Structure 1
């Protein structure tokens, strides 16, 4: 249904993608560890959820592993992430902090921590996801964009679309 659109507003990266699926279904894909493991992460990466407490103050700690031999030096690489949920409005909005971490859940201070607000909006024939990643400053935003984060997020939203549009 939709290509990913992105733009920058100050120190916030805004990414939008539409889905041919109900708002409830798209929201559920973000709110269950089983669902997240099936689509989270760029193509060629497998996600494993270590902890997941979907409530304000709850944390989500996960590992992504590159399982695609065609990705060269990335093959076999692990990347850990840790999020803390701030606000949840069922089927409408999820706000959380997102950071790189280690296997024990310690935040990696070499990378910026961002606050992500995902909004799920009704549109004709589906749902519009508006994801806003807010950084402490423009330099941190640019650092994350340079890592290919927009392309990676676009890739994982393609994976999500393949599931929810079934």
Structure 2
């Protein structure tokens, strides 16, 4: 077993490492958490809980290259734990995820069309079962590679590819039924 370069770090080194991780992954993890729980305040709580866990378990990380996957895995597990909790089942979630797709160079009409299609796509993504929603978000919005998704989701490559394919087919079918056949063309 390789020696852990993170073990025996000073308290200040660990805090600096955590600050860098928060800066590097914080926004992405917050969006990921929100995509699961659909509540901004709860997503922020889960982000904080995730980073606390990262800090406390930093010595357990074996490979420096696996940091991103490790942090995402912790966040996903915390989201799933919350969704299974009694607390979650007692509240109806009302906020929705928003991703912005805009450019100052486009005419206003095109911006409105893009915004409308983006909102429609987001609504359809959020209606997918979590196992399909997570692969779409990780692949397209978080831009994880298939290998990173395997690590994050702890699934075989074939399962990740299959879920991504099925999620795309479900989205395509739903969008075509609603007249959103302009996506991806």
Q: TM-score, normalised by structure 2?
A: 0.26
Structure with the greater alpha carbon radius of gyration = 2
Q: TM-score, normalised by structure 1?
A: 0.28
Q: Relative contact order, CA 8 A, sep 6+: which one is greater?
A: 1
